[in-house]
Amino acid sequence: MSIVRVDAEAASVAVEDVVDIAAKGGIKLSDQMAADFVTLVSGLEAVIANLPDDSCVMPIPDLSKYPRTDIHVPEDNNLGGWAAKVTAKCTAPTSDLLKGRTIALKDNIAFAGVPCTNGTSMVEWTPKVDATVATRVMDAGGTIVGKAACENACFEGLSASASTGHVHNPWAQGFSAGGSSSGSARLVGTGAVDMSIGCDQAGSIRIPAASCGIVGLKPTWGMVPYTGIINLDAAIDHAGPMTRTVRDCALLLEAIAGPDTWDDRQLLLELDDARLKFVKPVDEIVSKPRSRMLSGIKIGVLQEGFQIDGQDENIVKCVQVAVDKFETLGAEVAPVSIPEHKLASLVWMSSLALPCGRQALLGGMEGRKQLYMTDRLALVGPRLTQQQFDSLGPGAANLYLNHLWFSEKHGPAHQGKCMNLQKFISDAYDKALKEFDILAMPTLPHPAPKLPENGYEEGMLKFAMRTTGMITNTSPFDNSGHPALSIPVGFVPAREDANVKLPAGLQLVARKYSDVDCLKVAAAWEKAYDWKSL
């Protein structure tokens, strides 16, 4: 390591501290090395002490331009949907794209002055900055009306772990709304808001969208800036729209997409303005005669997506019927096999512990060029305290224990192996998407499960077993970065009670940066068929 400056007079570090820290790392220092290190570290501490404050570069909002009022935690939280409420809009919007629309932000998205729980009581944090997506919503004329509840540390697919309480399915109280963007889906599904923004690392937009009967898009990795949003793992972090209709999904995506100069997921993203327009192509598709809306579009039905262990046969039938209807819209539909798909979720599972434990729970983002929310990072140390660990839900607690286990037992070589396999699997999807415009499959293998009555008091293992296999079709595309959209296509009986009918979702996957193709195909199906009557 090159030395920029040494201050021999600034011996602020005690030799005992140097020796002790080295010993904790398993290193024994000679007397001479310890003395030399005291001088070197003292110089480093002097430099650190004299660095300028970074507040001048933080995206702290102009509250005269983006005022916010009535910040509060509502007594009636819409059966778990709300974490907090606020009223915020821009006094001089640059467009009217979202004029008159109300939008909720997932509660891992920073919005200055509004508490951000991230679904957990692990730390208490009220941001001073606004996430890029929040600013863009207001610049487009939208009104932000609150923070939607999310699952504990954003690491559950079952809506029973949020620190604000259970989030109930809008179609059946007592059943899951999905996760981790559970509140975002419920609020849209009940009509409490027009739109919401969720985040997705394994399916956290698409799982609740499918569970609640709404449209949810995980955009191409880097299409929407993640600036000002609490990370899980920068390699799989995605933010995207959750809406009642496909056109609204296109509208919100158009408002929030595009580089923001902060997020290094986007540094190589060079898209012309036409590639960031989503509403006009959707409108053009649905204006065509029904039988020609999807003329020239090839849809590949992913066979492995229908072959998941424990998959509900009602889901399979419902989604297959929906896929078959694409032919009536002019599309060419054919089966496609991608054997690597069966490996993809397993690679996701084994690649998560090291980076996600470090980034999501400990705040370690070194190596990334992005906005660091340093006030929140200061609240977490190099290891979780017992209190912090005890505040985690089963999924996040399991993540942290896996992080400690993998760090000790496997290390960087295993992580490297997983990243190499991710590239191998992503290439397999790319190859199939040279032949097909869209890959189609069920979003989830089964309908939303029933919520446990006592949260996760039933124990980590039993709680986790409620959603086993849920991310088999969703997590692969977080790793690969392909855009993936879930659209509701009908109702199926709940597994626990055949008299309860719950939504089923169809997932559409397109080429990277061809998010508009997902939207066009979904819009055509939505225009032609009423999913609630199928």
Tell me, what's the pLDDT at 5?
65
- Is the pLDDT at 2 greater than 60? The verdict is no
Tell me, what's the pLDDT at 478?
98
Q: Are residues 159 and 113 in the same domain?
A: yes
Query: Which tokens is 511 given?
Result: 């080429």
**pLDDT tier at 271 (50, 70, 90 boundaries)?**
low
Burial class of 530 by CB neighbour count within 10 A (0 to 12, 13 to 18, 19+): exposed
- Is the pLDDT at 199 greater than 80? The verdict is yes
DSSP β-ladder status, 438-442 and 298-302: parallel
- Is the pLDDT at 38 greater than 90? The verdict is no
Tell me, what's the pLDDT at 4?
61
Domain extent for 14? 1-51
Q: What percent of the chain has pLDDT over 90?
A: 82
Strands (E), 402-497: 438-442, 484-493
Tell me, what's the pLDDT at 267?
60
Q: What is the rounded average pLDDT of the residues 236-256?
A: 98
CATH number at residue 391: 3.90.1300.10
Backbone φ/ψ region at 449: left (φ over 0), alpha (ψ -120 to 50), beta: beta
- Is the pLDDT at 8 greater than 80? The verdict is no
Q: Are residues 392 and 525 in the same domain?
A: yes
Q: What is the rounded average pLDDT of the residues 102-124?
A: 97
- Is the pLDDT at 296 greater than 80? The verdict is yes
pLDDT digits (tens, 9 = 90+) for 58-95: 999 999 999 999 999 999 999 999 999 999 999 999 99
Q: Are residues 495 and 399 in the same domain?
A: yes
Tell me, what's the pLDDT at 7?
62
pLDDT digits (tens, 9 = 90+) for 516-530: 999 999 999 999 999
- Is the pLDDT at 186 greater than 60? The verdict is yes
- Asked if 444 and 473 touch (Cβ cutoff 8 Å), the reply is yes
Q: Are residues 45 and 154 in the same domain?
A: no
pLDDT digits (tens, 9 = 90+) for 422-459: 999 999 999 999 999 999 999 999 999 999 988 778 88
Q: Are residues 413 and 527 in the same domain?
A: yes
Give the angle 336-339-344 at the CA atoms, nearest 5°: 115
Cis preceding linkage at 486, omega within 30: no
- Asked if 374 and 437 touch (Cβ cutoff 8 Å), the reply is no
Tell me, what's the pLDDT at 191?
98
Tell me, what's the pLDDT at 270?
64
Q: What is the rounded average pLDDT of the residues 206-235?
A: 97
Q: Are residues 497 and 369 in the same domain?
A: yes
Lowest-pLDDT range of 130-139, 248-257, 298-307, 371-380:
371-380
Residue 315's contacts (CB-CB under 8 Å, 6 or more residues apart) are 442, 444, 445, 446, 447, 492, 504
Tell me, what's the pLDDT at 76?
97
Q: Are residues 321 and 374 in the same domain?
A: yes
DSSP secondary structure code for residue 201 in this structure: S
Q: What is the rounded average pLDDT of the residues 468-484?
A: 97
At 326, the amino acid letter reads: F
Tell me, what's the pLDDT at 79?
98
- Annotated catalytic residues are 106, 180, 204
Tell me, what's the pLDDT at 269?
60
Q: Are residues 38 and 71 in the same domain?
A: no
CA atoms of 133 and 195, how far apart (whole Å)? 13
Q: Are residues 7 and 96 in the same domain?
A: no
Lowest-pLDDT range of 53-67, 198-212, 257-271, 439-453:
257-271
- Is the pLDDT at 49 greater than 90? The verdict is no
Place of tokens 């983006």: 66
Tell me, what's the pLDDT at 71?
98
Q: What is the rounded average pLDDT of the residues 309-314?
A: 96
**pLDDT tier at 11 (50, 70, 90 boundaries)?**
low
- Asked if 283 and 293 touch (Cβ cutoff 8 Å), the reply is no
Q: What are the backbone angles phi and psi of residue 496, rounded to the nearest 5°?
A: -85, -20
Q: What are the backbone angles phi and psi of residue 216, rounded to the nearest 5°?
A: -140, 130
Q: Which of 51, 72, 89 is the last residue of a domain?
A: 51
Q: Which residues pair with 335 in a beta bridge?
A: 301
pLDDT digits (tens, 9 = 90+) for 315-364: 999 999 999 999 999 999 999 999 999 999 999 999 988 898 889 999 88
Q: Are residues 28 and 136 in the same domain?
A: no
CA atoms of 171 and 36, how far apart (whole Å)? 68
- Is the pLDDT at 283 greater than 80? The verdict is yes
- Is the pLDDT at 486 greater than 60? The verdict is yes
Into how many domains does the chain fold?
A: 2
Give the angle 66-252-333 at the CA atoms, nearest 5°: 170
- 308: how many CB neighbours lie within 10 A of its CB? 22
DSSP secondary structure code for residue 327 in this structure: G
Q: What is the rounded average pLDDT of the residues 243-252?
A: 98
Q: What is the rounded average pLDDT of the residues 497-524?
A: 98
- Is the pLDDT at 265 greater than 60? The verdict is yes
Tell me, what's the pLDDT at 262?
92
Q: Whole-number mean pLDDT of the chain? A: 94
Q: Are residues 7 and 94 in the same domain?
A: no
Tell me, what's the pLDDT at 60?
95
Q: Are residues 73 and 152 in the same domain?
A: yes
For 231, how many CA atoms within 13 A lie in the half-sphere containing its CB? 28
Burial class of 423 by CB neighbour count within 10 A (0 to 12, 13 to 18, 19+): exposed
- Is the pLDDT at 369 greater than 70? The verdict is yes
